[in-house]
Structure 1
Amino acid sequence: MKRDSLPAGVTPASPAASQPIASRRWTLPTWKQAWFQLHWFVGITAGTVLVVIGLSGALLVFKEEMLDLANPGVRHVPAQNAPALAPQQVAEAVRAAHPERRVASVIVYSAPGTAARVGLAALPGQPRGESVYVHPYTGALQPHLAGEAAFEWIEFLHRWLLLERETGKPVTGTLALCLLGLALSGLYLRWPRNARNWRTWLTFDTRLKGRSFLWALHAVAGTWALVAYLVFTLTGAYWAFDVVRSTVDGWAGVKRPPREAPAKASSRMPGGQRAKTMPVDLAPAWNTFVGTAPGWQMAFLRFTDKPNDPIQVAWLAADAPHPRARGAMTIAPDGTLVKHEPYAAKSAGARALTTLYPLHIGTYFGLPGQIAMMLASLALPGFAVTGWMLYLKRRRQARAARTERARLQAIDGAAGPLAMAAVAPVLVAYASQTGQAESLALRTAAALRSSGTPADVRAVATLAPRDLAGYGEALFVASSYGEGEPPDGARRFARLLAERDDRLPGLRYAVLALGDSAYARFCGFGRALDDRLAALGATRLFAPVEVDNGDEAAVARWSAALACLGAAPLAEVAAGAGAPWQSWTLASRTLLNPGSLGAPLHEVRLEPDGDAATAGWLPGALLELEARHADTVVQAWLAQSGLDGRAVVGEHTLAGLLATSELPDADHRFASAGACAAVLKPLAPRRYSIASLPADGAVELLVRQVRHEQGLGLASGWLTAHAAPGTAVRARLLANPGFAPVDADVPCIYIGNGSGLAGLRGHLRARVAAGRQRNWLVFGERQRAFDSLCAREVQGWAATGFLPELDLVFSRDGEGYVQDRLRARAGLLRAWIGDGAVLFICGSLQGMAGGVDAALADLLGRDTVELLAAEGRIRRDVY
């Protein structure tokens, strides 16, 4: 057992440390540590989004009051010594102003001077109609409420995080449960010894400073807000999860009516005339209501214009215990009372359900309750800030403790050997995912050797940080992978270097960093490597050189800088070069997931033209293609800019150049088409995993259609929607060494999700063609009914023995994710790894790949995972 995994207070020399692991008890401090880790992890992940929900919720608590403050005289007018208009008069006033709209509801109030509210039926295709306010004495329509749209947006943010309703509900519900977990785990973690003393719970010493002050403030404020957070989370979960709501409604004996569908287009008579119906007369029903409920303060009448349809009335008594304690009546158009259910006559369960919303926003307890709920919501940013401060301070303290331990070990340890007198060769180390860094490293070494300078070329995966002390000069060619991460083979080296405390004062070094500026952490690993070496006392030979997508000018700067080591000029390098650009034809595309909750996923088939017919590729290879804007996008830009797209510039029309370029600001006025063409920058090419083999006669891609605020994604939209079959596509084949096949009959485990099946399918087809049967596919998607991608082909492999292990995981069917299935089959995974299996991981970087990495680390150990990656037995193609 490692020293750092021992329980607090137990040293290796203690009796507890010598006991067998199986005999030790899971003690309370260990449980508390586990809860602590869970509390801060949820706090620094979900806590950020909870801040948004808290701030928006605080604004919504006093929504009505703020709207009235911003709109004086709209919803409340000076009381007059005259009777207020009856609902029928209010409805007639609105019909006169909007004869083309149907009045669907009227809300009136008994309080003098309160405007009536009229609901108009939704227009065809709209989810709901709008409301207008009516002067209670004159019938004049009141102005629209300023700020109402803003509050609707805030409510949309608060309830669904600006996502679609059915998508946002479970997200906010999960966040509510996270808040519940934070509240309860925080309560457990701060449980004081003197729990019966209320002062211990609700007060703290303001003279505290530093971390003690932050912890006391965090804990005591959390205790004050605990009840509010329990109310928030439980009521939020009720609205977010349909299964919770139906279960609670069942316990309460309440049956909800089905949700109304969006309004359909109204019927029309022959000749295009709209079929007219007579509006219902509300007077008889209103007279019945007033006679039955004389002590009302609010009445909400809902009705249709269909003959004989009853009028539904929800009403609030003057002595109602809270704003949602409403009774209900059903009254026929002729005034006959069909059904009467006062609030007091409802079942206890039904009355309890009406309290959920007033409790959630605090109106159940009046103004004090609203203030309390608003303050609890506003406290969430404070918890996030103090929580982060505590977390970062703890991390700094841990680093300081490690430094002190290292100093003690250095004092106790023997002195290192004297430096060698002989000059060591220059180390040229590379960290490569796709082979670009390796190619540049080999050329760098060749330039050194050609001038008589010895050079050792080594992959970072074969190095340990202590090896650097044996070199006087070291050159690092470092690719970044994904969002600035080290390549798979360099992950272990990067971790060990970050943990290293021994300094490297005798090392002179330089870094050539490869990256893509489209990512937020451009050249992230190269920069981190340079910073870490400098922090360990190494000396820069020259400033880091950063290469953006194979920029040859940057490579030339690297070549010139190497002159300080006497290197010859670097041979001409086209970083990232692959096969030449060729012409392909978009032969067909097939939608693979009709009806899916996810974005459409198409199989796109590209057939070679001419010289492309001789092209070949290995499984796992990539296709890099030139994307194009849709014609509608280019024409819209031309219309706004005032330029003629038919104007010829060189060998192309302006429209043709714009289609393959980043579009300039259309508001900028160019003097001519040539002036516009002179500033155009070509679109960055897009890369896709190839899902087929050369023997299939075509390149097949699995392309997920991306959609954003401006419409469809550039490349995915062009391939799946805009480009017609038969369109020529400029593309080239790229090798992908980090995801290359294994040239041996060893077990292979293929793990992926979504469009990541593309990179796995090519490998599996090659394995089947070679007769190699020890294959295991773990693949995840949303719903089995709609997202069983390439199901016939996959099931065929399983039926013929080429997939003896097949795990298809569908998350929306409640089956979890691929990482969950790996954990469930941990024994088999370890057995396959023990037999020499190679893992291929293809799919989304943020969700699936990170989850799989964490699962592998838990099941195999982080050191084992890094060793497998360094040996090339974990190969990834994630994006």
Structure 2
Amino acid sequence: MGITAGLVLSIMGVTGAIYSYEPQILKWINQDSYVVQVPDHAKLTPAELYLHFAKQDPSMQINSITIQSDASASSVVNIAKEGHRRGYNMLVNPYTADVLPEIKGEGFFDFVEDLHRRLTAGEIGKQITGACVLMLLYFVFSGIYLRWPKKHSFRQWLFVKPKLKGRNFIWDLHAVVGTWVVLFYLVFAVTGLYWSYDWWRSGMFKVMGVERPQQGGHGAPQGGQGRPPQAQQATPQAGTQTRAQSGEQNRQRATHENRDAETPQRSPEQISTALTATWAQFPQQLNRPYSSMTLNLPQSAESKVDILFLDAEPQHERARNNATFNYANGKIEELELYADKKLNEKIMSSMLPVHRGNFMGGVYQFFAMLASFAMPLFFITGWMLYLKRRKQKRLTREARQGSNVVHLDPNAQPWTILYASQTGMAEQIAYNTSTALQQAGTPTFVKALKEVSIDEIQQAERVLLIASTYGTGDAPDLASNFAKKHLKQNYDFSKVKFAVLALGSKEYPESYCTFGHDLNRWLHANQAQSLLDVIEVDNGNPADLEHWYTGLATITGSEVQAVIVEKTYDQWQLISRELLNPNSLGEPAYDIQLKALHAETWHAGDIAEVQCGNGVERIMQFIEQHQLDTTESLVYALRYKDLTSKDLMQSTPIDSKDFAWLEQLPNLPSREYSIASIPEEGYLQLVVRQKQIGENEHGLDTGLGLGSGWLTAYAPNDDNLLLRIRTNPSFHLIDDNRPAIFIGNGTGIAGLMSLLKQREQLGYTQNWLIFGERQIAVDYFYQSQLEAWQQAGHLQHLDVVFSRDTVQNSQLPDQQQQPRYVQHLITAQCDRITQWVADGAVIYICGSIDGMASGVDQALTEILGETQMDQLREEMRYRRDVY
């Protein structure tokens, strides 16, 4: 409905905004018609104007004459004219009776009004616009419903958040501006339907407690109600008679004609006498200032004249007063003042001013006009949100590819390759190993360790195990159930021959390759025969992997060629670096945004591997230390080199003329970061904590961590950095719309943000975020985005905790004060946790493994029980990206 009705409502909004200032615009472009020079004598009276035109053209049928109190304002003579069923307003010089130029622009506004009401398509167009206005009512109330239940601040309600990007900014703009204009649109819709449907009009009179006027001679209610907008066009000055007024005069005249159908028409002399007497006596008896006064020419034998007049400062152009004056006895027989009406009566007799906004004053009318002009914004943003969702669904369908399948020779005994992977590297090496063996003529079978049974291992007889170590020496999450269930049990593996490839990082020596060694000891203890010593791989080092393939060639007796996918880094431009937590008690955290200089895509949950670099200051220290000539090419060549390799420098002399030593310098290590954005946003976003470590073990005096220092301080803005995307399937979204609980702390918000953005693209709204940091005032990362999601219903629950604040705000004695962390929120929400998990929820955890991840794991185990936690891991409903 938003898409189909949006275009029509956009047209109605723009035309309505233009039409609302029709009087002011017409007066501005027709000064020579509305304003005259003031001479030193009085204006012509209605009788004098009447006689002037009656003598000039006896066939002219004059309906009414309007005199303005403003000395410079023109007078109006309304006459019968073909094509003007409510009379034609002839503007005349009030001092000379000269006819002033016709109003320019009326034809344009007639077209605008016709487009606004009927799309220039007659009755069919009227039905279309009426239906679209009914849809606008639905949009208004559904929008209120979607925003009202959310807990959010005044700022969330009314302020657009320019820092949001992509679809989130579009949604926030749509919602916030919608809040600004919702009252205006409600008034527009309710009053606009007054002219669309008779049943709606009747209902309004009933609801407002006002008796609906009877139909007059022109088939429209008397008193001004029920006329279409073209019958209500006002002249640009408050005192000038309107087409609506002249129409009312015609209807009143028609009523008199119907009442006295057989009465002879009055002569010009009689009419002149009536106008003269009325003009001489009525204003004095009224004794009330006015801005304009309209005298309807008497058409019957009764000695009465119907009069309309506006107060000196009328509320709007429809705030008319009505009177009937008996000029025979000089008495006012009827007087109905607009000011004496009740509010409901004023509203129902002034529907056009209410619709335009000037009923509530000039300030309201101005903002109503802006709201009307804003109507296309909702059509455009609605379209953009719709198209982005369609595109994302298409990309998601295309990305859902099945895993690689190895086709086996059923007549040959394969090598069974089992892998235990956390971030996907072990899985990748397992399939590369399979490829290498198959190319050597050896069949293979690849399977995740979590999916294999003890019987399958016993029957396989020849097994290769490729295992990562995760956390503080643990099995990867997807293999933890296998480890808990089997590694402390005894089995008969006497027929099994095996080899183990253990993956780890020497940066964590206390847990380096631990799980791979645990598997090796377990198999040895159960009589399995080891074909190779455990081969360790440090951060995917190609030299270590070469040892693995060399060992495979030895044990298989085949020419096994190494299949090593070298790390290939791409150029990414650093486009933004923003401090997220100024004045924080903790280390600075930065929002880093990079732009791909090539076609690039990734999945929510994937990892960015950044090649670390040296800052210019460190490079210049090295050049000065070794007395080298400073050149731009040398500075760039040293950017990614490990300048602390002391052993290599001793064995390879550094020569300022021969740069062969450069090739011998190893590259700096890489660092991995969770990605906080999705490809549709057009940039890659990281959240990096700047580590303050002082001088490191290699003697670097930067004082900052290798990776964090490079990204947050030393890499030049707008410069190109080296980065590669590494898939992380164990932290990808599950492939359906089940509930999801997202838990994290600190910079772990990055991995959770990408998942939440992806869920938003897919339209999955059963989301719950639990997040912790230090201080709410400075460490609430992406607060605007998260609260906007909660407000929009994308986050059904948002629970945050700030450890330093909980201590400072505690009323307990100092010795009893304890900070609260994420795990405490989980414990406090145990009932909801239990219910969401029972409903099929997937749990995603991202952040520090020390403290948060272990504490969360313990809290969840206490709530759900160890058996259910094992089941969640088995069903891949417990996914972690912790570090």
With structure 1 as the length reference, what TM-score do the two structures score?
A: 0.48
With structure 2 as the length reference, what TM-score do the two structures score?
A: 0.48
- Which structure has more relative contact order (CA 8 Å, sep 6+)? It is 2
Q: Give the structure with higher Rg (CA).
A: 2
